[in-house]
Amino acid sequence: MSAKLIDGKAFAANVRAQVATHVTRLKEVNDLIPGLAVVLVGEDPASEVYVRNKGKQTLEVGMNSYEHKLPADTSEADLLALIAALNADPAVHGILVQLPLPGHLNSDLVINAIDPAKDVDGFHISNVGLLGTGQKAMVPCTPLGCLMMLRDHHGSLSGLNAVVVGRSNIVGKPMAQLLLADSCTVTIAHSRTKDLAAVCRGADILVAAVGRPEMIPGDWVKPGATVIDVGINRIERDGKKKLVGDVEFASAVEVAGAITPVPGGVGPMTIACLLANTLTACCRAHGLPEPEGLTA
Ligand code: GUN
């Protein structure tokens, strides 16, 4: 048996199209244009690519994009002053500070300086707490994208056994909270988990977010399970550069019921959900109804 492929590229295009429709209506009916500010400190090449893609896709859905590129030696005081200005700017509905920051900057301090209502990454401690207590939060983009794809595939997730491999603040922990809120029985597994293979084999939903290339082989996958592979790992094989996930795709696709490929699975959903979050933040800021199907 070969699993159904969950096409994240097509799914993300659909999310962006929905966002664009809402943005058009906001302009026509409310005279409002959602705005996203992205702050990049330093010249990390991978971050520069992300930021360029974010800016391009923000404009494509009709939103305003504000890019702030700061030198690598920017002081914490200067960065905090920029965040304070963006917090106060009514044209800015979402603020994203690209991570990782250079080592001399305290990421927690910087992220927690963002107005939680504009924290479209969902990293501010207020949003983490709101999500953990089942209140209305801004939700981290990658887990939100995974949740959207899971809901689309399964309908209800209620009662399913979900195993999240990885305990990062950006993916693993918020993913577990979202699955719990959708009434899954959730296990968070990690590098110290005993008999990880057996834990994974109990999963109806297996989310891999560890950042280790092809760590999870097909024989750890329960037949018929849904596998969401968050990993994006660059490797070299047979002299060729390749992108692979945290799951060994070739063996897992033979066992799973559905699986996200790498590339073209979860990856494209992150920016699409960032745009959805910016739209949501704009609607909330103006007391307007939230876009249906684009929030947790
Ligand atoms: N760096 C890599 N991914 C992300 C992300 O989703 N948000 C931020 N702020 N930085 C990142």
Q: pLDDT, tens digit, for every residue of 203-250?
A: 999 999 999 999 999 999 999 999 999 999 999 999 999 999 999 999
Confidence category of residue 113, pLDDT binned at 50, 70, 90: very high
Distance between Cα 51 and ligand 1 center (Å)? 9
Q: Whose CA is nearest to atom 11 of ligand 1?
A: 99
Please give all residues whose beta carbon lies within 6 A of any atom in ligand 1, as ranges: 96-99, 121, 141, 270
Q: How far apart are CA 74 and CA 176, in angstroms?
A: 35
CA–centroid distance, residue 223 to ligand 1 (Å): 33
Give the nearest ligand 1 atom to 142 CA: 6
Give bridge partners of residue 97 from the DSSP assignment. 39
Phi, psi of 141 (to 5 degrees): -65, -45
Helices (H), the chain: 8-30, 45-60, 76-88, 107-111, 125-132, 141-154, 172-181, 196-201, 249-252, 267-285
CATH code matching the domain that covers 31-116, chosen among 3.40.50.10860, 3.30.390.50, 3.40.50.2300, 3.40.1710.10? 3.40.50.10860
The CATH code of the domain at 141-268 is: 3.40.50.720
Same CATH fold assignment for domains 31-116 and 141-268: yes
Q: Residue 1 has what pLDDT?
A: 62
Using 50, 70 and 90 to split pLDDT, how confident is the model at 152?
Answer: very high
Tokens representing residue 18 in the block? 């929905």
Going from N- to C-terminal start, the domains of the chain cover 31-116, 141-268
In testing the pocket of ligand 1, which one of 98, 110, 112 has its CB within 8 Å of the most ligand atoms? 98
In angstroms, what is the span from residue 77 Cα to ligand 1's centroid?
21
Q: What's the CA-to-centroid distance between 99 and ligand 1, angstroms?
A: 5
Q: What percent of the chain has pLDDT above 70?
A: 100
- Which positions are annotated as active-site residues? 54, 98, 121
How many angstroms separate the Cα of 16 from the Cα of each of 114, 136, 160, 284? Answer: 25, 22, 29, 19
pLDDT digits (tens, 9 = 90+) for 119-134: 999 999 999 999 999 9
